[in-house]
Amino acid sequence: MPSRLSRRPGLGRQAEALAAAALEAAGLEILERNWRRPEAELDLIARASDGTCVFVEVRSRTGTASGDPLETITPRKQGQIIRAARLYLDEAKPNAPAYRFDVVAVVFDAAADPKIVHIPAAFETTP
């Protein structure tokens, strides 16, 4: 049986696929998946119907015994996401009237379908 650590990348990819499908069902267009640079990464980048550029952090857990995946979006993690978004904006220069940071939490449960929670505008940049 694979160790917990060896299952994580597969669960992460599965969570990102579920998150992307949920966002598309909600009317967002997925522009990028797993945007990576040596110093930063973004799970999903999407466009809302009003043109807003949406940076999406996907968090997942197998059950909630260790806490809710939303609890892992610490101020430090928010800072990493914001820095990555700035790199993306500098590089891609999307023609967007605004941007926001969403979080999608996916909880896998062996006895039920995964629970997916989308939090639009979960946090903001500080001036």
pLDDT of the chain along its 127 residues, tens only? 343 443 556 888 999 999 999 999 999 999 999 999 999 999 999 999 999 999 999 999 988 777 888 989 999 999 999 999 999 999 999 999 999 999 999 999 888 899 999 999 999 986 5
Number of domains forming the structure of the chain: 1
CA-CA-CA-CA dihedral for 15, 40, 8, 21, to nearest 10? 10
CA atoms within 13 A on the CB side of 54: 28
CATH of the domain at 51: 3.40.1350.10
Residue 123 neighbours by CB under 8 Å, 6+ apart: 73, 78, 101, 103
Residue 50's pLDDT is what? 97
Instruction: Tell me the pTM.
Output: 0.89
Question: Taking the CB of residue 77, how many other CB atoms lie within 10 A of it?
Answer: 14
Residue 103 domain boundaries: 4-123
